[in-house]
């Protein structure tokens, strides 16, 4: 069985929990309170910038020149999506863009950046894979279920459900499978564990948006 099949099996229970979350179910129904969606978009812009940096770090550390190119393009894509959020949703929803990262956003991006910088590069590739794969799965699930008429979130829902995004995801999965072939069993397990951690942090990110998470102690 391929590395990606094994890794998905290990993390599948987290995907199942994500699609049952109230944030996802209310996006589908179109009943998600606007303030929660705004909160999510503002945090996602902060997330995407750091995700782009993590991808650029992996590009710089990749062994094959083709992978340098692939992760450079992924990094560019993440930054382009980030600026698109500013150009569209920030205007539509009057988002200030002054928010600081929540604990969950900080935790997730710190995990991505430190893994991209310090872990074996194959493990770093596995750590960023949930950002692709979970979003595609969740995007397809939402797209398949959603209330099309009068859903205020249909434009967002279309973003991750298309063929274009699916091709990027397939490429990121293939690269991880190629990379895993040069790894020992133990290293492949470290890749799967990094993948599972990324999936858990995807769960935490949705949960934090639903709760409109703040820092427990305001020090000033
Ligand atoms: C939190 C999060 N994970 C993944 C994606 C897709 O890259 C995103 N936009 N936001
Ligand atoms: C996974 C992902 N999500 C938004 S952009 C991106 C990388 C593709 O450029």
**Whether the predicted interface score ipTM is above 0.85:** yes
Domain boundaries, the chain: 3-211
Does ligand 1 lie within 6 Å of residue 205's CB atom?
A: yes
Q: What is the pLDDT of residues 22-76, one digit of tens each?
A: 999 999 999 999 999 999 999 999 999 999 999 999 999 999 999 999 999 999 9
Does ligand 1 lie within 6 Å of residue 206's CB atom?
A: no
Instruction: Region of 172 please: left (phi>0), alpha (psi -120 to 50) or beta.
Output: alpha
Q: Tell me if 92 sits within 8 A of 62, measured CB to CB.
A: no
Ligand nearest to the CA of 112: 1
Q: Which two tokens stand for residue 36?
A: 């929660």
> Residue 116 half-sphere exposure, CB side, CA atoms within 13 Å?
22
Q: Which atom of ligand 2 is nearest to the CA of 73?
A: 9
Residue 181 neighbours by CB distance under 10 Å = 10
Q: Binning pLDDT at 50, 70 and 90, where does residue 219 land?
A: low
Alpha-helical regions (H) of 3-102: 3-19, 22-29, 34-61, 65-87, 89-92
CA of 7 to the centre of ligand 2 (A): 20
Q: What is the pLDDT of residues 85-141, one digit of tens each?
A: 989 999 999 999 999 999 999 999 999 999 999 999 999 999 999 999 999 999 999
Q: Which two tokens stand for residue 77?
A: 């894509």
Does ligand 1 lie within 6 Å of residue 135's CB atom?
A: yes
Does ligand 2 lie within 6 Å of residue 47's CB atom?
A: no
Instruction: Collapse the DSSP code of 212 into the 3-class scheme (helix H, G, I; strand E, B; otherwise coil) and give the result.
Output: coil
CA of 131 to the centre of ligand 1 (A): 5
Q: Which of 112, 113, 135 to mutate to test the pocket of ligand 1 (most atoms within 8 A of CB)?
A: 135
From atom 6 of ligand 1, which residue's Cα is the shortest distance away? Answer: 131
Q: Which of residues 121 and 162 earns the better pLDDT score?
A: 121
Q: What is the pLDDT of residue 148?
A: 84
Superfamily of domain 3-211: Heme oxygenase-like (1.20.910.10)
Q: What percentage of the chain's residues is helix, strand, coil (to nearest 5)?
A: 80, 0, 20
CA of 44 to the centre of ligand 1 (A): 7
Backbone angles phi, psi at 173, to 5 degrees: -65, -45
From atom 2 of ligand 1, which residue's Cα is the shortest distance away? Answer: 131
Does ligand 1 lie within 6 Å of residue 165's CB atom?
A: no
Does ligand 2 lie within 6 Å of residue 168's CB atom?
A: yes
Q: Which atom of ligand 1 is nearest to the CA of 134?
A: 4
CA of 128 to the centre of ligand 2 (A): 10
Q: Which two tokens stand for residue 20?
A: 């049952």
Backbone angles phi, psi at 215, to 5 degrees: -75, 140
């Amino acid at each position: 069985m391929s590395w990606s099949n094994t890794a998905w099996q290990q993390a599948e229970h987290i995907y199942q929990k994500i699609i049952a979350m109230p944030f996802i179910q209310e996006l589908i129904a179109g009943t998600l309170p606007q303030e929660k969606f705004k909160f999510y978009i503002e945090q996602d812009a902060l997330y995407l910038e750091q995700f782009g940096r993590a991808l650029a770090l992996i590009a710089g550390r990749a062994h094959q020149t083709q992978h340098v190119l692939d992760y450079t393009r992924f990094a560019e894509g993440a930054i382009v999506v980030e600026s698109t959020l500013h150009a569209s949703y920030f205007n539509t929803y009057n988002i200030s863009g002054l928010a600081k990262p929540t604990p969950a956003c900080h935790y997730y991006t710190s995990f991505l950046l430190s893994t991209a910088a310090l872990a074996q590069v194959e493990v770093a590739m596995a750590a960023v894979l949930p950002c692709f794969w979970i979003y595609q799965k969740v995007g397809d699930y939402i797209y398949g279920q959603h209330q099309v008429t009068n859903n205020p979130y249909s434009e967002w829902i279309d973003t991750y459900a298309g063929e274009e995004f699916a091709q990027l995801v397939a490429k990121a999965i293939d690269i991880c499978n190629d990379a895993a072939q040069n790894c020992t069993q133990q290293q492949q397990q470290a890749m799967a564990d990094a993948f599972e951690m990324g999936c858990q942090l995807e769960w935490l990110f949705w949960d934090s948006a639903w709760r409109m998470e703040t820092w427990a102690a305001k020090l000033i």
